[in-house]
Homo-oligomer: A and B are copies of this chain.
Amino acid sequence: MKPTATALQTADDSADTGAQQIRDAIRDAIVERRLSPGTKLSEGDVGNLFNVSRTLARAALQALSYEGLVSVEKNRGAFVAYPSPEEARQIFAARRLVEPGILREAAARIKPSQIQHLRQLLLEEGRLISERGQTARRAEIKASGDFHLTLASISGNAIMQRFMDELVARSSLVIALYGQSTISSCGHSEHGDIVAAIERNDLDEACRLMLHHIAHIEADLDLRERKSVGLREAFEI
């Protein structure tokens, strides 16, 4: 299972300012679930795909490993991360821990134009949900995460923003692996409720809704240990 050209070549021919472009392209592919967890990302293949040397491919993969999106195994190669159930729990625990705080901070500094921006995001998200097709689905996944990231950006704390970047991206991986419901972002209306609570300055309610929202996402996961199904159980029906 090697990454196909269609899975990765999105921002290909843009200026080659370095490994960053490659990193971003691969990250987008992972977040939008065009690349499945466990997919091997060999340095050579990635380099060929983007027409750069292994040096840059390696740098990009290394960067992604710091974000927890790919895992590099010594002398074996890089793979799209395959979060364990335990990791998944920790990711959502971290989100429960930081998102209320980010929300409070954001609500305290939010300006009318930014509320407007949030509302526009919700609209776009709603539009994508009603559309059909793979590309719409992928855009929807991204838009769903963008809501949380925008909140972090409004909070004005670049460090928390980067942290949320990581958490949202890794959440996408977890949902790809353990999500049950076919609908990817079941909680669209919940986003709207949160914005509404912010608008009427009811912070406690907004935080409550946020925690509920995160719990809702997590509840859709099936985090039972799957001991690499496929040895025997997969055929012993």
> For residue A87, which residues in chain B have a CB less than 8 angstroms away from its CB?
158-159
Confirm or deny: A59 has a beta carbon within 8 angstroms of a beta carbon on chain B.
yes
A45-68 residues at the B interface, CB under 8 angstroms: 55, 59, 62-63, 66, 68
CB distance from A72 to the nearest CB of B (A): 11
> For residue A189, which residues in chain B have a CB less than 8 angstroms away from its CB?
none
Binds B, one of A6-14, A97-105, A115-123, A131-139: A97-105
Choose one: B62, B93, B158, B163; the contact of A163 (CB below 8 Å). Answer: B163
> For residue A158, which residues in chain B have a CB less than 8 angstroms away from its CB?
87, 90
Residue pair B157, A94 in contact (C-beta under 8 Å): yes
> For residue A59, which residues in chain B have a CB less than 8 angstroms away from its CB?
59, 62
Residue-by-residue, is A132-176 near B (CB-CB < 8 Å gives 1, otherwise 0)? Answer: 000000000000000000000000111110010001000000000
CB distance from A94 to the nearest CB of B (A): 5
Choose one: B18, B93, B159; the contact of A91 (CB below 8 Å). Answer: B159
Choose one: B18, B62, B97, B156; the contact of A98 (CB below 8 Å). Answer: B97
Most interface-central of A59, A91, A102, A158 (chain B CB within 10 A): A158
Residue pair A157, B90 in contact (C-beta under 8 Å): yes
CB distance from A172 to the nearest CB of B (A): 15
A88 to B227, alpha carbons, bound, how many Å?
44
> For residue A98, which residues in chain B have a CB less than 8 angstroms away from its CB?
97-98, 101
Residue pair A97, B102 in contact (C-beta under 8 Å): yes
**A63 and chain B: residue at smallest CB distance:** B66
CB distance from A158 to the nearest CB of B (A): 6
A192-209 residues at the B interface, CB under 8 angstroms: none
> For residue A94, which residues in chain B have a CB less than 8 angstroms away from its CB?
157, 159-160, 163
Most interface-central of A59, A102, A159, A167 (chain B CB within 10 A): A159
A75-103 residues at the B interface, CB under 8 angstroms: 87, 90-91, 93-94, 97-98, 101-102
A55 to B55, alpha carbons, bound, how many Å?
9
A-B contact pairs, 11 of them (CB 8 A): A18-B74, A59-B62, A66-B66, A68-B159, A87-B158, A90-B160, A93-B160, A94-B159, A97-B98, A98-B101, A101-B101
Which 7 residue pairs of A and B lie closest in terms of their CB atoms, listed nearest first? A97-B101, A66-B66, A94-B159, A90-B157, A90-B159, A94-B160, A93-B157
